[in-house]
Amino acid sequence: MPLNTDPNLEAPDSFYEALIETHRDLTEAQSHALNARLVLLLANHIGQLDVLQQALAAARASGR
Amino acid sequence: MALTYDSDGATIQRHSFDYQRCPDQDAVAPVRHPVVVVGAGPVGLSLAIDLAQRGQPVLLLDNDHRLSTGSRAICFAKRALEIWDRLGVGDAMCAKGVEWNVGKVFNGHDLLYRFDLLPEPGHERPAFINLQQYYAEAYLALRAAELPGITIRWQNTVVGCTPQADGVLLDVDTPDGRYQLQADYLVACDGSRSPLRGMLGQESKGRVFQDRFLIADVRMQADFPAERWFWFDPPFHPNQSVLLHRQPDNVWRIDFQLGWDADPEAEKQPERIKPRVDAMMRAAMGRDVPYELEWASVYTFACLRMDRFVHGRVLFAGDAAHGVSPFGARGANSGVQDTDNLAWKLDLVLRGVAPRALLDTYGPEREFAADENLLNSTRATDFITPKSAISRLFRDATLDLARTHPFARRLVNSGRLSVPATLHASPLNTPDRDLFAGAMVPGAPAVDAPLADAEGGGWLLRRLAGNGFAALVFDCDGAAVAAGAEGIVPVNLVQLSASGTAAARYDARPGTVVLLRPDQHVCARWRAPTAADVAAALRRALALH
């Protein structure tokens, strides 16, 4: 299955606000740990290895 | 004192085998032997026994005159035990060893999860036994001594190896000086530092891990169950891992991760080990427990292998060919599987039943298995000893999630324990023509099953205990097998019910035939084969083209 990179979030601004809010009052180290847990939770939700590999490649390619 | 199957551990570790001068040392020209095996560890001994059971004379050379000391390999897996059953030594191993099937993984104080490596009943052998390596070697040495085809020369150190067109010329050093001998085939089972590998200009390449582990073998009365217990970051040894195994004789094996900066010599000292064990016992048992330190060692490890295991008339097996980290018990177990793969091929080539091409398949088949072991071992090692800040971050995130989320427990990797490779791509396999379900695909090692009284009772793998090809025939007379094998190679017919446990495990129906190689790997299966089908599969499995 191809990785869906088309707009797919049902409420983009609400999601983004929730993401930032989740990190409120955390130290940088705590935030990094939270992000790692978040990646693992979302990866499990997606499940398919080929989709995850596309996401990993896309994330790596989009860095500055 | 003579070594017996009842010898205690201290006697075995003290035992010294006598060096004996042999006529080869006084021969005018180098004496020729069909097979010379170098290294009388678990791998070399298993190979020598297998070849001798097939009627091949074997000369086994060892540079030492003693068996192993300390627990070392310790965990012997189901498949190795089944191979040792065929070699006549599995009962001795299992009678002494501590059986276990269950592993528990802790993070800090908390039990994260438990796993059962043999969740279904109906197997003669457990997933694992724990047994000090010296016991395993002693039983193998005793079995070897029962076979007149095996000659072991202790304190015979190979110092030179010259490949020749039709064999190998060896220079051997002894307490009486040097002599030469010739071998049609030489099998190097001389361990991870394999001097023979160096003499041939070969190397074993891969990743060396920058971490150190302390092994302590401790004798004590403790009431831990016979399970594999693994701690990430336990309170008694913070920021590092600890592994606990029960062994025979009330000896417990504890592996403490120390980190790369630890001083290996200092850490081996009893006064450094004592506080570590004391802290563990207080935390795990809530009290001080008296114990004696039996043996200690500090190790590092690497995941590596030779590019090829076959070099003309020289073949490499065990740690000489490939090395893994200890997490997964894939070292000695895969070495024993190497010998299982090699012995029948070497025997049939020496007899002229099969061409050299059969022997050459040892390389790719066991290199494939080594890659599987290396992959599992490397992944476990990267999880247990993360080597970057981000790797550590994800490792800790996984452990944190695993407390409450079952999915994360599947990511926790304290070692994926040894299972034999299924040789999917082997050229010796006949691809399926008929539809089958289940795990017993061509290339798979035969799974055990209990047999009903009408099937002869006992265990399936025991019925395969012969040294040749076998055909499992389910509710049929096997006439096609007998006719197809005629003039090629003998095949042992094993008549089974199409409604028993074996039939379920092999997805058999009335008429189904499963053809097994002498190392008990499936090489073909059919719903109703003709004699021509069987003949073609046997020729393929023998590399006869």
Q: What is the mean pLDDT of residues B28-35?
A: 98
B284 pLDDT exceeds 90?
no
| Nearest CA-CA distance, residue A36 and chain B, Å | 6
| Nearest CA-CA distance, residue B401 and chain A, Å | 7
pLDDT band at B128 (very low <50, low <70, confident <90, very high): very high
Q: Which residue of A has its CA nearest to B395?
A: A36
B273 pLDDT exceeds 80?
yes
Q: Which of B407, B410, B411 to mutate to test the interface with A (most CBs of A within 10 A)?
A: B407
Structure tokens at B318: 């065990």
Specify the CATH number of the domain B206-300. Answer: 3.30.9.10
B311 pLDDT exceeds 90?
yes
Interface of B with A (CB under 8 A): 393-394, 396-398, 400-401, 405, 407-408, 411
* B165 CB-near residues (< 8 Å, 6+ apart): none
- Whether ipTM > 0.90 holds is yes
- In this prediction, residue B151 carries a pLDDT of 98
- In this prediction, residue B479 carries a pLDDT of 97
Nearest 5°: CA angle at B304, between B139 and B216? 50
Cβ-Cβ contacts under 8 Å, B411 against chain A: 40
The Cα–Cα gap between B533 and B524 comes to 9
Q: Which amino acid makes up residue B81?
A: L
Q: Which amino acid makes up residue A21?
A: E
Q: Which of B399, B400, B409 to mutate to test the interface with A (most CBs of A within 10 A)?
A: B400
- In this prediction, residue A63 carries a pLDDT of 83
Q: Do B400 and A33 touch (CB under 8 A)?
A: yes
Q: Do A36 and B397 touch (CB under 8 A)?
A: yes
pLDDT tens digits, A52-61: 999 999 999 9
Instruction: Indicate the pTM of the whole model.
Output: 0.96
B218 pLDDT exceeds 90?
yes
- In this prediction, residue B222 carries a pLDDT of 86
Strand partners, B177: B174
Residues of B147-165 as b/e, b for ≥16 C-beta within 10 angstroms? bebbbbbbbbbbeebeeee
Q: What is the mean pLDDT of residues B468-476?
A: 97
CA dihedral B184, B49, B193, B61 (to 10 degrees): -60
- 10-49 in A: which are within 8 Å (CB) of B? 32-33, 36-37, 39-41, 44
Q: Which residue of A has its CA nearest to B396?
A: A33
The Cα–Cα gap between B317 and B37 comes to 10
pLDDT tens digits, B415-463: 999 999 999 999 999 999 999 999 999 999 999 999 999 999 999 999 9
Q: Do B394 and A44 touch (CB under 8 A)?
A: no
Cβ-Cβ contacts under 8 Å, B398 against chain A: 40
Q: What percent of chain B has pLDDT over 90?
A: 94
Q: What is the mean pLDDT of residues B90-108?
A: 97
- In this prediction, residue B285 carries a pLDDT of 80
Asked if B508 contacts B514 with a C-beta cutoff of 8 angstroms, the reply is yes
Q: What is the mean pLDDT of residues B49-60?
A: 98
Strand partners, B492: B470
Q: What is the mean pLDDT of residues B153-157?
A: 98
Q: Which residue of A has its CA nearest to B393?
A: A33
| Nearest CA-CA distance, residue A33 and chain B, Å | 6
Q: What is the mean pLDDT of residues B378-405?
A: 95
Specify the CATH number of the domain B453-541. Answer: 3.40.30.120
A64 pLDDT exceeds 80?
no
B1 pLDDT exceeds 80?
no
pLDDT tens digits, B476-495: 999 999 999 999 999 999 99
- In this prediction, residue B402 carries a pLDDT of 95
Q: Which residue has the tokens 């059953």?
A: B85
A29 pLDDT exceeds 90?
yes
The Cα–Cα gap between B379 and B197 comes to 27
| Nearest CA-CA distance, residue A13 and chain B, Å | 27
Q: Which amino acid makes up residue A24?
A: R
**Per CATH, which fold does B9-96+114-205+303-372 belong to?**
FAD/NAD(P)-binding domain (3.50.50)
B288 pLDDT exceeds 90?
no
CA dihedral B259, B42, B441, B306 (to 10 degrees): 60
| Nearest CA-CA distance, residue B396 and chain A, Å | 8
Q: What is the mean pLDDT of residues B90-118?
A: 95
Dihedral sign (CA B163, B165, B168, B169): negative
Q: Which residue of B has its CA nearest to A44?
A: B407
Q: Which residue of B has its CA nearest to A34?
A: B397
The Cα–Cα gap between B512 and B508 comes to 5
Q: What is the mean pLDDT of residues A3-9?
A: 97
Q: Which amino acid makes up residue B327?
A: F
Cβ-Cβ contacts under 8 Å, A40 against chain B: 394, 397-398, 401, 408, 411
**Interface residue A8 vs chain B (CB under 8 A):** no
- In this prediction, residue B294 carries a pLDDT of 95
Distance of CA B143 to the CA centre of its chain: 17
Asked if B150 contacts B35 with a C-beta cutoff of 8 angstroms, the reply is no
Chain pair A-B, CB pairs under 8 angstroms: 25
Q: Which residue of B has its CA nearest to A29?
A: B393
Q: What percent of chain B has pLDDT over 70?
A: 100
B256 versus B286: the higher-pLDDT residue is B256
Q: How many CA atoms lie within 13 A of B212 on its CB side?
A: 14
B192 pLDDT exceeds 80?
yes
β B58-61/B150-153 pair status: parallel
| Nearest CA-CA distance, residue A19 and chain B, Å | 18
- In this prediction, residue B358 carries a pLDDT of 98
Residues of B195-214 as b/e, b for ≥16 C-beta within 10 angstroms? bbbebbebebebbebebbbb
pLDDT band at B287 (very low <50, low <70, confident <90, very high): confident
- In this prediction, residue B15 carries a pLDDT of 97
